[in-house]
Amino acid sequence: MVSIDSIKEQIQKTYRQLIKSRSLTPRYGQRQMIAQITNELSKSENLESDAPICVIEAGTGTGKTLAYLISSIPLAKNYGHKVIISTATIALQEQVVLKDIPEILSSSEMSFTYAIAKGRRRYLCLSKLHMLLSGQDSLMALADLHDSDISDYLSSDSELYESMLSKLESGSWHGDRDDWDSPVADKVWMPLTADRFQCTGQKCNYFRDCSFYKARDALDKVDCIVSNHDLVLTDLVMGGGAILPEPEKCFYIFDEAHHLPAKSNNHFSEFSNITGTQGWLEGLVKDFSQLRRHDFLKEEEHAVISDVLNKLMKSFENMSPILEQFFDFKDSINSYENKTLYTFHGGSVTDEICKMAEIIETYFSRFIAHLEVINENLMSLLDELPSPELKELIEAWCSNLGKILERANSNYSLWASYARVDSEQKPPRARWLTLTEVENNFEISLYSSPVLAAENLQEYLWEKCAGAVLTSATLSALGNFEMLNLRAGLPPHSTYLRIPSPFDFKNAAVFSVPKLNCEPSDSDNHTRLLTKAIPKLLSLTVGALMLFSSRKQMQDVRQCLSEQWQDLVLCQDDYTKSELLKYHRKRIDEGKGSIIFGLASFAEGVDLPGKYCESVLIAKIPFSLPNDPIEMTLASWIERHGQNPFMVLSVPEAAFKLVQASGRLIRNEYDKGRITLFDERIVNKRYGKIILNSLPPYRKEIFLEDLSD
């Protein structure tokens, strides 16, 4: 282990080499970021201190990828750690692997190895492949596993599967879906994969040649692993070290870190559909009868399993009318994401639901215990060296049981959540029901989710990792990191740094608020004024982005435009994001006009420099939807603790989103243009002025244009 001073000299030398060889302009903010990461992560040398957690908001144009790569990797190598780069999007993950890292390695004396980490579902399962190419018994077990008819597999593209097997055996392909020479449809690919519940591990015939485990072993040999938030969280939920190296031996770099709390909540949430689960339980009766016929299940075990399944089905029959009654009270329900929804106030369910949930939880607990015994018995049969045909059939049933066990555990967690009363000292879980119409029938689903990721991130990440850096162009809200702290539960010793963008916002961009004499709450009038404003503010050859908070308003504005202007619009609902951006750039390159209509997903991660986006129009201040169950429950909890949820949650979140949305305009030092917000509340309301003052230093034009009637 070399001294910290030597490492700092090495990092400085690498930075100078990169600046010189790539003819870059040294950036003060970039040097700040390098110094901050180096100083903080070097504290991990002291084994008795808390793991360093470093938060850096680095404005657009800082060059943060280069900064965190050249500062973290030398330190990690010195301590025998790995660096895990975690991104929120595939696009950024690919940019780091295909562009940023190769440029650093080719333009400096810095030397390190790296690999991209992917989940199991990106890799082919050899056992499944051989099963698809073999006899009827194996296919029958596989069809049971995927709830499909056997004809689906018999009629599958066997030539493609044969080709895959041939390329695997020749070594010209390694089982990675992304490396296959042409796109593979989900319907063709999914039967070829296995999750952790279905995998038999070292007992599998093909373990030594397994694509996933080979890729997993390769991660142990590299210095830097490029992953994504979902995979990192999946690994942490499994205890850490299951997919990625152990957290204690890793420096985590979370790029686009503002996504981390919401993604964490998703990983710790539960869901169950009443009708779907009832159908699944009925199907399991047939599955276990088949196990009995194959003599893989003793008569007494079969009787016990059948009894538990019948009790579960009866419990669901009793629960359905209890849940249905909540949709009889029209004043208590609303719509969210095109579903009829009922949110339990403060996350508290009724005593009747709680008692029924306890019963269902108990039955699922018993069911899981029996499943684990049956699975162990089947796995032990593999140790008895059965014939190849029998071994393949046993593996198929082990895989099937793994999937059943996964779904049973998921149901157990959901019902345990509904049976539990939350502590008054901690934020409650959000619990809600949805009612969906499917083929003239109504289906009820139950959900349970943490409202804050703080506790889970503390337990699984901050208290285990060797160190972490959280960075993004936008992490603060209203000039501070209180919102991030609330949602992510960062430890008290965390350090914070805000690095402003090097761009000259004052001369590059105008932030305009036209006079409308109309608030967004008057939706019909507001939509009409937006429709009239577009032809007044834009030319027919402009490249523009218009952002909406409401899908309905987006569609209404488009429909009300004249045919000439409708032809310029590329709407989010019509294409995938990548296709839409591709068509937009093509139009502009051909000298035509093009206007993108998008919702929240287009307010970040969209890079349209220069002529591709000279105007950003924002329909209104992007407040979160008031009927989001998680936000409703969190707001209720904050109010119970004597605070104003609007000022604590809604205003900072809206300010954060508005900074992101307006940030779509200036992507480099040469960009210029105009941001127009059609919402007078940013001037007329006290909270609006707070939001306005938190924006980058654009040149502001307030009410200079009158677009009212």
State how far Cα 594 lies from the chain centre: 29
Closest CA relative to residue 93, chosen from 240, 229, 212: 229
Tokens of 169: 């055996």
| pLDDT value for 316 | 96
Q: Tell me the torsion sign for CA atoms 167, 168, 172, 174.
A: positive
CATH level 2 (architecture), domain 4-113+222-264+453-499? 3-Layer(aba) Sandwich (3.40)
Closest CA relative to residue 88, chosen from 615, 667, 660: 660
340 three-state secondary structure: strand
Closest CA relative to residue 453, chosen from 705, 624, 260: 260
pTM of the predicted model as reported, rounded to 2 decimal places? 0.91
Q: Are strands 339-343 and 334-336 parallel, antiparallel or unpaired?
A: antiparallel
Q: Are strands 82-87 and 224-228 parallel, antiparallel or unpaired?
A: parallel
Crossing angle (nearest 10°) for helices 4-21 and 28-41: 150
The 3-class secondary structure across 617-669, one letter per residue, is EECCCCCCCCCCHHHHHHHHHHHHCCCCHHHHHHHHHHHHHHHHHHCCCCCCC
Q: Which amino acid is at 63?
A: G
Decide if 618 contacts 678 (C-beta within 8 A): yes
Decide if 248 contacts 426 (C-beta within 8 A): no
CATH 3.40.50.300 boundaries in the chain:
4-113+222-264+453-499, 505-706
Provide CB contacts within 8 A for 651, sequence distance 6+.
478, 687, 690, 691
- Cβ neighbours around 256 below 10 Å, total: 21
Widest Cα–Cα separation across the chain: 84
DSSP, res 206: T
**CA–CA dist 5, 523 (Å, integer):** 61
| pLDDT value for 150 | 45
| pLDDT value for 144 | 52
- Whose tokens are 């020749």? That residue is 170
- Partners of 515 in the β-ladder: 706
Q: Which amino acid is at 644?
A: N
Decide if 699 contacts 510 (C-beta within 8 A): yes
| pLDDT value for 145 | 47
**What are all long-range contacts of 7-16, with beta carbons under 8 Å and residues at least 24 apart?**
7/38, 7/42, 7/74, 7/75, 7/78, 8/38, 10/74, 11/38, 11/70, 11/71, 11/74, 13/109, 14/70, 14/74, 14/104, 14/108, 14/109, 14/110, 15/70
**CA–CA dist 352, 350 (Å, integer):** 5
CB hemisphere CA count around 450 (13 angstroms): 19
Residues of the chain where predicted confidence (pLDDT) is lower than 70? 47, 135-156, 329-338
569 three-state secondary structure: strand
Going by CATH, does the domain composed of 505-706 fall within 3.40.50.720? no
Tokens of 263: 């993604």
**CA–CA dist 321, 506 (Å, integer):** 61
Write out the DSSP string of 435-497.
EEEETTEEEEEEEEEES-SHHHHIIIIITTSSEEEEEES---BTTBSHHHHHHH---TT-EEE
**CA–CA dist 444, 320 (Å, integer):** 8
State how far Cα 683 lies from the chain centre: 34
Tokens of 666: 């200036």
What percentage of the chain's residues is helix, strand, coil (to nearest 5)? 55, 15, 30
Q: Are strands 543-547 and 467-472 parallel, antiparallel or unpaired?
A: unpaired
| pLDDT value for 54 | 97
